[in-house]
Amino acid sequence: MLALLYDIHGNLPALEAVLADAEAAGADRWLLGGDYGAFGGWPGEAVARLRALDGAQWIRGNTERWLGGAPDIPSDGAVGPALAAARAALGPRTVAELVVLPERLTLLEGSFSHASPLNDMESFAPEPHDGEDRLIDGVQSKRLVFGHTHVQFTRRREDGIELVNPGSVGIPLDGDRRAAYALVHEERGVELRRVAYDHEAAAAGLRDNFGDGWTDVFAHRILEARL
């Protein structure tokens, strides 16, 4: 059984809760969808925990690209300081390895990208919207899996393509504080799952490990599950 883990963002308590839930449900394969360390309290620990998963398949998210330096990094607010903290915690070798991860993968279970097959920033919404056809970017799979927006949903398009957003393990933004992920069953298809964990401890740990300032923004998102 394949587990889909996206947008972990250095939230080790949420990651541990999801891994325990997935393993109890029978998961034995892992698709890791990007945004692994930045913005959370445990960047290095989260990446190390993921590396311990046997046979995990990795793709790159926008924060991995940003860790290597990119022209579209937001120049104001908390993102820059958060990325600098993650770089220091991860170290140059790990950052270099994360930057060169593939942008897309295709498995029997579908096509996997961080935000969409087109790029790592533009994504799909729970409801159909104008212009989303171009985000498909020629992919032939009947299931597209992506994250980035931190909003868990599935829907089937008129052309038969199933869109799957497993949601965010580390910083859900749909008003539900529980960690989000998904399982792909061979016969039953995609199962969206939520796992309760100590989100207050995760927010406190972020502040304790990196101090005040930029951490307030992301601690608030962990606590409220909203921007």
pLDDT, one tens digit per residue, over 120-167 is: 999 999 999 988 999 998 888 999 999 999 999 999 999 999 999 999
Strand partners, 143: 162
Angle at alpha carbon of residue 75, lines to 70 and 77, rounded to 5°: 130
Residue 41 and residue 15 in contact, taking contact as beta carbons nearer than 8 Å: no
Percent of the chain with pLDDT over 70: 100
Q: What is the pTM of this model?
A: 0.96
Token pair belonging to 166: 């497993």
In angstroms, the Cα distances linking 28 to 45, 76, 186, 187 are 21, 41, 13, 16
Give the pair of three-digit tokens for residue 190.
Answer: 């995609």
Gap between the Cα atoms of 69 and 17, Å rounded: 31
- The residue length of the chain stands at 227
Short-list 195, 138, 184, CA closest to 161? 138
